[in-house]
Amino acid sequence: MKADTDVIVIGGGFFGMYIAEFYAQQGKKVILFEKEQDFMQHASFANQARVHNGYHYPRSILTALRSRVSFPRFVDEFKDCIDNSFEKYYMIGRLLSNVTAKQFELFCQRIGVPCTLASRKITSLVNPNLIEATFSTVEYAFDAVKLKLAMLDRLEHAGVDYRLGVCVNKITQAGTNLTVETLSVANDSENESFSANQVLNCTYSMINDVLTKSQLEPVALKHEMTEMCLVEAPDELKDKGITVMCGPFFSIMPFPSERLHSFSHVRYTPHFQWIDSKDSPYINGHNYSSNIEKKSNWNRMLLDAKRYMPILDQCQYKKSIWEVKTVLPRSESNDARPILFKPNHGLLGLHSVMGGKIDNVYDITLELSKHEKYLTSI
């Protein structure tokens, strides 16, 4: 029986939008489902808004090199959504750091990114007893709202049929096709079924929600309930981004969509964690996040960070944005951010995909291209 559509994409974050357009540009008929009433409302918005250039991953050369390659491509493709107006500095802690200043400098040379010692104007702001060295680097931020609008325009131009306020309740095999049952979030009596050749599960922290509802084996994933603080930076830091690494340190970065700075701390941004596995009951992260009391760790973040940079005591806390961060458990040992790509995951034509950072999208489309090539050759 002929399918209703070629491809169904579940999840309207940046990755789902990009992948939907990717298939539509190949001439495929695509339907995109998003359970919220707007796109990019979860992890695509509630993050540090950093466009990585490799600096963040001295303990994972492969991740660093992939970021280094993706950085200019992403910046060029989404130039109207990029904030490159600020200076970016990486600082190496003297205590508890997993890398020394010399190791970081050699790492930057190895992956081919700019890295020079910062001026006295910057180093005068830090506590030399706790910071070994400060490096001037090149890294940007993206405006999530502008990026959403750019991708929405691209979806419409590509002819993608998208449905907001619709969640996927179940996926089943129907011969060589897949049947996708949907529910209206506003009215759960409004349900429809769609048939597709392929289904892309791009729901990030909700990947296992789709799988468990379809009685399929979940992916081993680690989830963290995270808090990103948004602050007004002191005048001396308004045009700057600072990352202290590599270990239990912090970052303060421009957050363009709110015209503030994000403030995150490796120790205090995650509030608690849980792991999805086939041996434990599934926890719906979005429902869990909506129902728990959220008590900010801002004071703890600031108390620790101002030891390294006393001027941070002048930051004015505005609000926190909360989101479930999801990673592959194996990536925790070395900070690597590999993509998840599980083709034919439990059902022929069902593919689960996830990236750990925004520029991973190119790694995913590369894998999808390889998979498409394989399918057309058999």
| Cβ atoms within 10 Å of 24's Cβ, excluding its own | 22
Omega of the bond prior to 246 within 30 degrees of 0, cis? yes
What region, left, alpha or beta, does residue 165 occupy, with left being phi > 0 and alpha being psi -120 to 50 degrees?
left
Q: Where are the alpha helices (DSSP H) in the chain?
A: 14-24, 61-77, 101-111, 120-123, 144-158, 207-213, 285-291, 298-308, 361-376
The predicted model scores a pTM of 0.94
CB 176 within 8 A of CB 350: no
As beta bridge partners, residue 10 has 33, 201
| Residue 271 C-beta-side C-alpha neighbours within 13 Å | 18
What region, left, alpha or beta, does residue 252 occupy, with left being phi > 0 and alpha being psi -120 to 50 degrees?
beta
**pLDDT value, residue 373:** 58
Q: Identify the CATH number of the domain defined by range 61-142+221-327.
A: 3.30.9.10
Interatomic CA distance for residues 356 and 70, integer angstroms:
13
Is pLDDT above 90 for 213? yes
Q: What are phi and psi of 367, to 5 degrees?
A: -65, -40
**pLDDT value, residue 1:** 58
Of 60, 97, 70, give the one whose Cα is nearest residue 335: 60
**pLDDT value, residue 335:** 61
Is pLDDT above 50 for 377? no
CB 228 within 8 A of CB 298: no
Tens of pLDDT, residues 30-39: 999 999 999 9
What CATH topology corresponds to 1-49+144-218+334-378? FAD/NAD(P)-binding domain (3.50.50)
Is pLDDT above 70 for 215? yes
Name the token pair of 143: 């405006």
Whose structure tokens read 């291209």?
369
**pLDDT value, residue 375:** 52
Per-residue confidence band for 334, with pLDDT thresholds at 50, 70 and 90: low
Percent of all residues in the chain with a pLDDT value above 70, rounded to a whole number: 96
Tens of pLDDT, residues 237-280: 999 999 999 999 999 999 999 999 999 999 999 999 999 988 88
Is pLDDT above 80 for 148? yes
Tens of pLDDT, residues 276-302: 988 888 989 899 888 889 999 999 999
Per-residue confidence band for 378, with pLDDT thresholds at 50, 70 and 90: very low
As beta bridge partners, residue 200 has 9, 351
CA 215, chain centre distance (Å): 27
Domain boundaries, given as residue ranges, for the chain: 1-49+144-218+334-378, 61-142+221-327
